[in-house]
Amino acid sequence: MGLLIHFLFLFLCLFQSILCQAKEFISIDCGGTRNYTDPSTGLAWISDTGILSHGKSVEVENSNGDLLQYQRRRDFPIDSKKYCYTLSTKERRRVYVKEMIIRAPSNFIDVCLCCATTGSPFISTLELRPLNLSMYATDFEDSFYLKVAARVNFGAPSKEAIRYPDDPYDRIWDSDIDRRQNYLVGVAAGTERINTSKNIEIKTREYPPVKVMQTAVVGTEGMLSYRLNLEDFPAHARAYAYFAEIEDLGVNETRKFKLKQPYMPDYNNAVVNIAENANGSYTLYEPSYMNVSMDFVLSFSFVKTKDSTRGPLLNAIEISKYVEIASKTDQQDVNVLNALRSLLAEIVLTSGGDPCVPAHWEWVTCSPTMPPRITKIVLSGKNMNSKIPSELKSMEGLTELWLDSNSLTGPIPEMNNLVNLKIVHLENNRLTGPLPSYLGSLPSLRELYVQNNSLSGEIPPALLTGNIIFNYEGNPGLSQGAKHKARYKLILGISAGVLAILFVLFLGSLLLLCNLRTKTSFKKIDDKGDSLRTSNKPSTAYSIARGGHLMDEGGAYNIPLFDIEEATNNFSKKIGKGSFGPVYYGKMKDGKEVAVKIMADSSSHGTQQFVTEVALLSRIHHRNLVPLIGYCEEEYQRMLVYEYMHNGTLRDHINDSANQKHIDWVARLYIAEDAAKGLEYLHTGCNPSIIHRDVKTSNILLDINMRAKVSDFGLSRQAEEDLTHISSVARGTVGYLDPE
């Protein structure tokens, strides 16, 4: 249950021993509290405590039976920042990230979680595995990485996946038996599982583990067929088939077969004759497609040729999707930031990954161009005590530079081609040398602060014309032309406040992955129950709720009855009738349209329970669930305030087609899918799970784009894990009761 993301990478070993490979593995137990060796694999796991200071370590509930590395996880805040792990590797080496194979862009890789909009992102383990030489090389690896969609070991001895140490690269070879429901279907009659204990010669390119090659399936009736779903497809894919003859064929016997499905003209006519292709039995033959287009549902079959005495055989397959590497910040700018970062002792994680994409680091501002350029650097008061990097001059997009209140030494570097530079803060450092004359001719310069340094020499006259704000107090060595004296006094009066802007360190590299799962913790909600009741903070909560599905810890807030009366114009526009009372249209002060649901049945729940439920509901956020904005509990009235859905209920559209937009079959399909996703989230994405118990067309609302959101799940109460609270009373509308 606590397993979220795990990442694996792989690279190349300079030596040939298998042991060497494992030495380069990096296995991080995210949220773990200690370092240890996994007794089953012998792999060393390290805790991320010293690596990551953000987020918090959380114990995964009911994880007693799980491996040690899955017993704790790290939860991250919900915000637009990036939280990154930096893992060292070797440049250009191919690495494999749980479902990903990527060529290392430099000698480290950042794995970042970012931009959570719902729930709290968390990570359980992070594993980096180096691959050997050309393994998984593709023609497209400069701009695409591979995301593994299926890696199946056919004829597997058990349900367990095969990994390290059987696979020295620790790839995960899923078993073809019953891995998950409906994983592999459409299996042809006569399919049999075979195995051998003989060694298999696997020295082709991908070096699949011998153990995986020692098992296979054969189509004893002449055909092998399978159907499986490929996550995130249709897409272009890299696909491999692994064949090794592991039966001893008689002298007159042959095994020849063709790919029949999917139909690919280039490949379908090719006859596979494993022993011939591989030049011998017990030797791997590994044909592959470099770039093949595949659908979400992959059906494939191999059929024996007429002159073959044996049916087709298959040991394993591997299918990976090509995923484009996100566009990156201008490389020159990244180099400068790297130079700056190297001056800093602090290591702060929000500076991982690309400086601008998809979320920018806290201490830089980026232009909206493609590729993004850096427009502002704020490194005030960071204890930097070296020279200002000369690379700065290539940052042509820069408009503001804040390097004040450090202990920077040396001269002010060349920056004469930074034609966009407007504001420069270099004050309170230990800079020496002259004020370069180019400063007087930077076309955009408006403010220049160099006070409290050890600069010397003559001030370029152009700086003293009064056209720019220029402060150079506290530099005893600086002198100026006589005619400008009067003016500079004026300018001195302007003081520069010391900025206290948070800043962080980074290593410029590639954002690998941003993969979030959500989980709502019931315990947290309980803690909040009381404070929620009394908290009354409309202004912030409006802005929080405005995003539709973005929520912070505060959840729904208490809206005063007065505000609701005003928004609904004293409950003048009734738009429906819920199972608990009427529903009114309203418009809040900030223009947000809402639906106010009156809870007529105020006796059934105690106040505390109402507030607790509201707190819970307001934390549940999903694209296909109607967002709860707030609640009101005053003068024995209880109301829930939801986001207004412009296209009403699905029931209206289906039953009253005269007044409503016609919904075509495609739209209906979308609606069904949306509603199912909403329900699935209630069942599996929430903890504790929520059973709706009143699913019907009038509880499926349509937004302005005719996409569906499930409503009224608040009435259903949680499917308590705690048996003492089981609520088995039927609820909802007769005729629509959930089987549960």
Q: Which residues are at the interface with ligand NAG (CB under 6 A)?
A: 16, 18, 34-35, 46-47, 49-50, 132-133, 140, 144, 157, 168, 195, 207, 236, 250-252, 279-280, 291, 322, 427-428, 451-452, 473-474, 495
Q: How far is the CB of 90 from ligand NAG (least distance, A)?
A: 14
DSSP 592-624: -EEEEEE---TTSS-HHHHHHHHHHHHH---TT
Give the residue with the Cβ less far from ligand NAG, 427 or 613.
427
Task: For residue 444, give the nearest of 462, 418, 468, 420 by alpha carbon.
Answer: 420
Q: How far is the CB of 246 from ligand NAG (least distance, A)?
A: 10
> 537 is written with which tokens?
């903070």
Give the C-alpha separation, 128 to 145, whole Å: 15
Which H or E element spans position 524?
helix 522-534
> 433 is written with which tokens?
């040398």
Give the residue with the Cβ less far from ligand NAG, 182 or 252.
252
Give the C-alpha separation, 554 to 528, whole Å: 8
Give the residue with the Cβ less far from ligand NAG, 125 or 451.
451
> In Å, what is the CA distance from 608 to each residue of 2, 111, 529, 719?
30, 42, 8, 19
410, 454 in Cβ contact below 8 A? no
Q: How far is the CB of 422 from ligand NAG (least distance, A)?
A: 20
Q: What is the chain's Cα-based Rg?
A: 32
Count of residues for the chain? 740
> 714 is written with which tokens?
């608040």
In the bound state, the residue with its beta carbon closest to ligand NAG is 236
Report the relative pairing of strands 628-634 and 593-598 from DSSP bridges: unpaired
Give the residue with the Cβ less far from ligand NAG, 168 or 440.
168
Q: How far is the CB of 152 from ligand NAG (least distance, A)?
A: 16
Residues 6+ apart with CB under 8 A from 159: 175, 177, 178, 179
Instruction: Verify whether residue 694 is a known catalytic residue.
Output: yes
For 462, phi then psi, to 5°, come to -60, -25
Task: For residue 315, give the nearest of 416, 234, 196, 414 by alpha carbon.
Answer: 196
Give the residue with the Cβ less far from ligand NAG, 236 or 592.
236
Q: How far is the CB of 267 from ligand NAG (least distance, A)?
A: 15
Helix and strand numbers, DSSP H then E, in the chain:
12, 44
Give the C-alpha separation, 682 to 695, whole Å: 12
Q: How far is the CB of 645 from ligand NAG (least distance, A)?
A: 38
648, 699 in Cβ contact below 8 A? no
Give the residue with the Cβ less far from ligand NAG, 57 or 579.
57
Give the C-alpha separation, 730 to 735, whole Å: 12
Give the C-alpha separation, 63 to 70, whole Å: 7
Q: How far is the CB of 394 from ligand NAG (least distance, A)?
A: 29
Give the residue with the Cβ less far from ligand NAG, 207 or 580.
207
Q: How far is the CB of 652 from ligand NAG (least distance, A)?
A: 44
75, 354, 674, 694: the active-site residue: 694
Give the C-alpha separation, 239 to 236, whole Å: 10
Give the residue with the Cβ less far from ligand NAG, 254 or 437.
254
Residues with a known catalytic role: 694
